[in-house]
């Protein structure tokens, strides 16, 4: 995700922005997710960001869409190897194209997705005007192109309809002003989650915190000044549930910067991407375990 889409604006967090507003009631809580895990399985949708036409960040021919797809494939495979998780993947890790099941959904449900988008945006607009919720923008994002926006709302609609417990969006970063074809000055990962007034905020933040605690043991957090919190609450990103469009937990990973040597170097890239995916899986798994530290080395025979 390009930092050209991230210009910070001032915003004050009011008393109204406690977890979930009166208008947007929680449909999932951290405890509900843990209880569901204890009883059975958790459904997880993995969404590698961008596509072959709109490829996101780029450095010396390496596109974000490409590394997103590869990392997404690894994360999907780790989740699928765990009997407690039922994963889904929106893009093919080899070709980068949308998988047929999701492409068919977007085509068949296009009108319904458009209506869904209009409805949730209208509800939020009216709530802002009435003061039921408060605009709280820490990071400004340029509006997504119409087709991209529709696809993202389509992901949220499909996830809601199919009782998907967790949606993980995969991205890599860049920022405006970087000299073309030269590495930039920032590095490290950050995690974007729904802002506190959104109905899926608490559950999303809880899982994101577990993922952060696992990743930070192996990878550095973002040193971009505006991402110093690492876990960043966001009200605008459709991916995490803007306009209360997402009922379950959702978070968006910015795993690092596209120009970082370990990502750009073809000799080690796959190893790093697999490690990032594995630690993300571990972070999700750890959230559901009573004693995660005792189980970290035995979750999968990866290491």
Alpha-carbon distances, residue 195 vs 2, 242, 290, 296 (angstroms): 20, 9, 27, 30
pLDDT, mean of residues 124-135: 88
**pLDDT > 60? residue 294:** no
Question: Is 46 a member of any domain?
Answer: yes
Question: Is 293 a member of any domain?
Answer: no
Q: What is the pLDDT of residues 203-214, one digit of tens each?
A: 999 999 999 999
Question: Is 44 a member of any domain?
Answer: yes
pLDDT confidence band for 293 (50 / 70 / 90): low
Q: What is the pLDDT of residues 144-191, one digit of tens each?
A: 788 899 999 999 999 999 999 999 999 999 998 899 899 999 999 999
In this prediction, residue 58 carries a pLDDT of 95
Is 134 or 75 the better-scoring residue by pLDDT? 75
pLDDT, mean of residues 266-290: 97
In this prediction, residue 143 carries a pLDDT of 64
**pLDDT > 50? residue 5:** no
Question: Is 185 a member of any domain?
Answer: yes
Burial of 293 (0-12, 13-18, 19+ CB in 10 A): exposed
In this prediction, residue 93 carries a pLDDT of 87
Which single residue is written with the structure tokens 């750009």? 264
Per-residue tokens: 74? 């690894």
Question: Is 135 a member of any domain?
Answer: yes
Question: Is 43 a member of any domain?
Answer: yes
Question: Is 15 a member of any domain?
Answer: no
Provide the residue range defining the domain that includes 114.
3-10+24-288
pLDDT, mean of residues 240-269: 97
In this prediction, residue 111 carries a pLDDT of 98
In this prediction, residue 206 carries a pLDDT of 98
Average pLDDT, the chain: 88
DSSP 296: G
Q: What is the pLDDT of residues 92-101, one digit of tens each?
A: 988 889 999 9
CATH of the domain at 192: 3.40.630.40
- In the chain, % of residues over pLDDT 70: 86
Dump strand ranges (E) for the chain: 7-8, 42-48, 58-59, 62-63, 85-89, 139-140, 166-173, 190-194, 231-234, 249-257
Question: Is 101 a member of any domain?
Answer: yes
Q: What is the pLDDT of residues 23-71, one digit of tens each?
A: 678 999 999 999 999 999 999 999 999 998 899 999 999 999 999 999 9
**Angstrom distance (rounded) from CA 87 to CA 282:** 14
In this prediction, residue 142 carries a pLDDT of 60
pLDDT confidence band for 295 (50 / 70 / 90): low
Lowest mean pLDDT among 22-31, 69-78, 197-206, 261-270: 22-31
In this prediction, residue 53 carries a pLDDT of 85
List the beta bridge partners of residue 249.
Answer: 166
Q: What is the pLDDT of residues 9-24, one digit of tens each?
A: 323 233 333 334 456 7
pLDDT confidence band for 300 (50 / 70 / 90): very low
Residue 18: CB atoms within 10 Å: 11
**pLDDT > 60? residue 200:** yes
What is the number of domains present in the chain? 1
Model pTM? 0.89
**pLDDT > 70? residue 215:** yes
**pLDDT > 80? residue 2:** no
């Amino acid at each position: 995700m390009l930092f050209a889409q991230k210009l910070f604006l001032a915003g004050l967090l009011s008393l109204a922005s406690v977890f979930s507003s009166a208008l947007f009631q929680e449909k999932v809580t951290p405890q509900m997710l843990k209880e569901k895990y204890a009883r059975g399985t958790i459904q997880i949708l993995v969404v590698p960001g961008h596509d072959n036409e709109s490829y996101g960040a780029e450095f010396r021919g390496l596109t974000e869409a490409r590394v997103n797809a590869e990392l997404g494939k690894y994360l999907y495979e780790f989740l699928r190897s765990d009997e407690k998780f039922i994963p889904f993947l929106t893009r093919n890790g080899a070709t980068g194209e949308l998988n047929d099941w999701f492409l068919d959904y977007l085509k068949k449900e296009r009108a319904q997705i458009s209506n869904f988008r209009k409805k949730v945006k209208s509800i939020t607009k009216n709530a802002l005007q009435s003061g039921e919720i408060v605009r709280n923008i820490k990071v400004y994002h340029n509006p997504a192109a119409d087709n991209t926006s529709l696809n993202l709302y389509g992901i949220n609609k499909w996830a809601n309809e199919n009782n998907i417990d967790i949606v993980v969006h995969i991205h890599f970063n860049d920022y405006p002003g970087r000299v073309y074809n030269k590495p930039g000055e920032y590095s490290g990962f950050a995690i974007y989650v729904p802002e506190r007034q959104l109905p899926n905020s608490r559950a999303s933040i809880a899982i994101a915190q577990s993922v952060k605690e696992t990743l930070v043991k192996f990878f550095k957090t973002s040193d971009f000044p505006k991402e110093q919190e690492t876990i960043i609450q966001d009200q605008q990103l459709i991916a995490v549930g803007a306009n209360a469009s997402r009922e379950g937990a959702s978070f968006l990973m910015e795993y690092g910067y596209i120009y970082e040597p370990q990502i750009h170097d073809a000799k080690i890239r796959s190893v790093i991407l697999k490690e990032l995916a594995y630690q993300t899986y571990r972070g999700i798994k750890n959230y559901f375990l009573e004693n995660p530290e005792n189980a970290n080395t035995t979750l999968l025979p990866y290491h």
